[in-house]
Amino acid sequence: MARDWYKSLFRLVILAALAATPAAAQDYPNRTIRVIVPFGAGGPTDVFTRALGEELRKALGQPVILENRPGAGSIIGTAEVAKAAPDGYTLLMISATQTTVETLNPNRSYKLMRDLVPVAAVMNSELVLVVPQRSPVNSLKELIALAKAKPGTLNYGSSGPGSNYHMAGELIKNLAGLDMVHVPYKGSTGARADILSGQIDMMFDSVPTMAPTIEEGRVKALGTSGKTRSPVLPNVPTIAEAGIPDYNATIWIGVMAPAGTPKPVVETLNREINKILSRPEIKESWRRQGTNTMVMTPEEFGRYIETEIERWAKLIKANNIGVN
């Protein structure tokens, strides 16, 4: 009899738990949503997350708070979300950086596609290679010639190991056969400050972030990383045009949530984010800043992430790229 009582109690507990999930999802959201950005303030992920967060706040009727958690090439912030409650109130901004980290840093507390679920893609953009204003280099060909004449002496900054900027630099090193030193920062803000002061020789940065500085003449742009010229920097050649054929490295960002987040919550977030990104005024505003909005279902975004993980894994392994 006692055994039957425990079985009945167990069934009631399970039924209550199953019933609670749809109710919680239907009530979502009813409090503040935290969005963790695993990069420093001022970079493209930070800037466009803030813009998206404000629109999402209006759409959902709840505060959307952005929190920067930079460090370890995005691992610190990503790990925090991976272990958060799967209730839709802690979200992660993901970029291409996290897809390279999957191969570069195997000893992590999480696995991207195991411990997090795709919610929505957001945008993509090109990078631009810049040197300090007082650099003797004025073109990509001159940079390549100088690097080959002085192997191991030139350096380039990035926002951390595995970051978009790190991978763009490693790609240029490998395709052009250069020996340059990687200088990783905790975030792109530090690298950006040092390229302006001339403390580092070069860096890749996002077009939206660096374009105003280029236009002010505070740095010199040597090339953009996409297949075609950026509409924001039409006078700057692509790196492929400037001397390294087939060069292509872009950045993108999106949203993920802890694994186990109820599907109705994921679908609500995806629907509202896609509505925002599909609005003509948002698309045009972001395009003028050098970015393209990306509208995908969670399933499509998941396949996109997996493709990126595979693409960068092949490049990293083929060229023996390390975390330093």
* Domains along the sequence of the chain with CATH: 6-125+252-318 (3.40.190.150), 126-242 (3.40.190.10)
pTM comes to 0.80
Q: What share of the chain is helix, strand, coil (3-state, %, to 5)?
A: 50, 20, 30
Q: Which two tokens stand for residue 272?
A: 């509202």
Whose tokens are 């004025």? That residue is 138
CA distance 123 to 45: 9
Evaluate the CA torsion angle 305, 130, 161, 311 in order and state its sign. positive
Evaluate the omega torsion of the peptide bond into residue 29 and state whether it is cis, within 30 degrees of 0.
yes
Residue 103, token pair as written in the block = 């191969």
Please list the pLDDT of the chain residue by residue as tens digits (324 residues): 545 544 454 454 444 444 444 445 679 999 999 999 998 887 788 889 999 999 999 999 999 999 999 888 789 999 999 999 999 999 999 999 899 999 988 889 999 999 999 999 999 999 999 999 999 999 999 999 999 999 999 999 998 777 888 889 988 998 999 999 999 987 788 999 999 999 999 999 999 889 999 999 999 999 999 888 998 999 999 999 999 998 988 889 999 999 999 999 999 999 999 999 999 999 999 988 889 999 999 999 999 999 999 988 988 887 777 665
> Which residue shows structure tokens 């001159």?
142
Phi, psi angle pair for 2, to nearest 5°:
-60, -40
Helix H or strand E encompassing 74: none
Strand duo 33-37 + 64-68: pairing: parallel
- H helical segments located in 105-139: 112-115
